[in-house]
Amino acid sequence: MLLQCRPIVKCAAASSLRTWHSTVRRQVQTSAGAFLSELSRKSTYTPHTSRGFLRVDGKDAIKFLQGLVTGQMNVLSERGGWCGFLNAPGRILYDAFIYPLKSTSGGDAFLLECSSDVCPKLLQHLKRFKLRAKLTVTDVSTEFSSYNLFPSTTESPLEKFKLGTLDHRAADAMGYRVVEAASENVEEKLQGYELSSEETYKLRRILLGVPEGPQDFWEGSGLPLEAGWELLGGVDFRKGCYLGQELTIRTHHTGVIRKRIVPVQVFTVTEPIPPPSAPVASNLLVDTSLSLPLPSPQADIYPITMTGIASKKRGVGKFCEGIHNVGLALVRLDMIGEEVVLSEPDGLRARAVKPDWWPTM
């Protein structure tokens, strides 16, 4: 007889959970759809404090980057955008925004924005493949700052900034990404916008199912299509050869993708799980008053049998990052939408859902 399985999250902080259970109760729950709708009622901007910047400048800049990034440089050189870098076997290294710059060498120039945690590694990665290419690669992290803008109207704020792009991730629901000189006072350009925290930006991103940075993209292990890069607009299947293309294009044409990074709602062991609803992100219940002791990145997710016994023979995914009572996780697609998922006696439980903006698959 086959056992039916449902996923749980393995968490090492069992003792802290027991203490937490006895002192904290859920207070305010809002559906993700209502939470995001409320955010869109006013224009806001978020400064990013942990970003690094690299300048690629020279005659061969477009050709050089075309052979390394998953995006199409003919497009990125015109309007900028988000894409990523892979290693030779086709595993994820880093994700980045690319913006066209005015060259100081008579060629082409681009500004690459990535997490400050991986910026030195990306610099070394680019220098490794530079060889005889006529260009320079420079760390200019101290010279720039980046922001996400979320206007409440359809008017584009990009004309006020020298560098910026529409953030196409999540079907354009991530607003605009802009870059300014670190010494620039952006508040003068953002009259009518309210300052919003990076915590709110992270929560918005998680509820939309948008992974970003090394906590979600594990260097040298993740696959771009499992991470949803093609859905986020970060992979162009029509471009020519680039590093890591072979596995990516083969996976695309075979159509075999068994896992995806998706939003999850996390529950404590004592918390009643609400009745199942449509397994989409807008039905998640977010509680911003909570600070659950969430698992660390790459913590295993295991199934359990209907008797409540965890089965550790084979995991069904891994946790990425989270905030409050929600997070992102790499989860097997056939486990999305499970009703109630139980952890080991003192651990956490989770329910995975798919982003609302995903196309029909």
With a cut of 80, say whether residue 345 has pLDDT above it: no
Distance, in Å, from the CA atom of 125 to the CA atom of 54, rounded to the nearest integer, reads: 12
With a cut of 70, say whether residue 13 has pLDDT above it: no
Distances, alpha carbon 323 to alpha carbons 10, 18, 36, 134, 295, in Å? 17, 19, 15, 44, 10
Q: 353, 218, 203: which is closest to 274 by C-alpha?
A: 353
DSSP character string of 90-141: S-EEEEEEEEEE--SSSSEEEEEEEETTTHHHHHHHHHHHHTT-S-EEEE-G
User: pLDDT class for 109, splitting at 50, 70, 90?
Assistant: very high
Condensed to tens digits (0 to 9), the pLDDT of residues 22-74 reads 344 445 789 999 999 999 999 999 999 999 999 999 999 999 999 999 999 99
Distance, in Å, from the CA atom of 201 to the CA atom of 204, rounded to the nearest integer, reads: 5
Q: What pLDDT does 316 receive?
A: 86
DSSP annotation of 154 reads S
- Token pair of 319 as six digits: 């946790």
Instruction: Identify whether the C-beta of residue 346 lies closer than 8 Å to the C-beta of residue 17.
Output: yes
Instruction: Name which of 19-33, 193-207, 268-282 the model is least confident about.
Output: 19-33
What long-range pairs does 102-108 form, CB within 8 A, spacing at least 24? Answer: 103/57, 103/58, 103/61, 104/57, 105/57, 105/58, 105/59, 105/135, 105/136, 106/59, 107/57, 107/58, 107/59, 107/60, 107/61, 107/134, 107/135, 108/57, 108/58, 108/59, 108/61, 108/62, 108/77
Q: What pLDDT does 305 receive?
A: 64
Distance, in Å, from the CA atom of 147 to the CA atom of 82, rounded to the nearest integer, reads: 14
Q: What pLDDT does 237 receive?
A: 94
Top mean pLDDT of 26-30, 110-114, 170-174, 333-337 is at: 110-114
Instruction: Name which of 81-90, 102-111, 290-299 the model is least confident about.
Output: 290-299
**Once rounded to an integer, what is the mean pLDDT over residues 5-19?**
45
Q: 162, 261, 190, 226: which is closest to 47 by C-alpha?
A: 190
With a cut of 70, say whether residue 307 has pLDDT above it: no
**Average pLDDT of the chain?**
87
Rounded to 5°, angle at Cα 322 from 316 and 325 = 95
Condensed to tens digits (0 to 9), the pLDDT of residues 202-258 reads 999 999 999 999 999 999 999 999 999 999 999 999 988 999 999 999 999 988 899
**Once rounded to an integer, what is the mean pLDDT over residues 276-284?**
81
Distance, in Å, from the CA atom of 323 to the CA atom of 14, rounded to the nearest integer, reads: 18
Q: What pLDDT does 180 receive?
A: 96
Q: What pLDDT does 315 receive?
A: 80
Distance, in Å, from the CA atom of 216 to the CA atom of 263, rounded to the nearest integer, reads: 12
With a cut of 80, say whether residue 99 has pLDDT above it: yes
Residue with tokens 């006072």: 185
Round the CA-based radius of gyration of the chain to a whole number and report it. 21
Q: What pLDDT does 199 receive?
A: 97
With a cut of 90, say whether residue 119 has pLDDT above it: yes
Top mean pLDDT of 111-115, 278-282, 343-347, 349-353 is at: 111-115
Distance, in Å, from the CA atom of 108 to the CA atom of 87, rounded to the nearest integer, reads: 24
Q: What are phi and psi of 6, to 5 degrees?
A: -135, 150
**Once rounded to an integer, what is the mean pLDDT over residues 289-295?**
84
First-to-last alpha carbon distance for the chain, in angstroms, is 30
Percent of the chain at pLDDT exceeding 70: 86
Condensed to tens digits (0 to 9), the pLDDT of residues 168-185 reads 999 999 999 999 999 998
Instruction: Identify whether the C-beta of residue 71 lies closer than 8 Å to the C-beta of residue 238.
Output: no
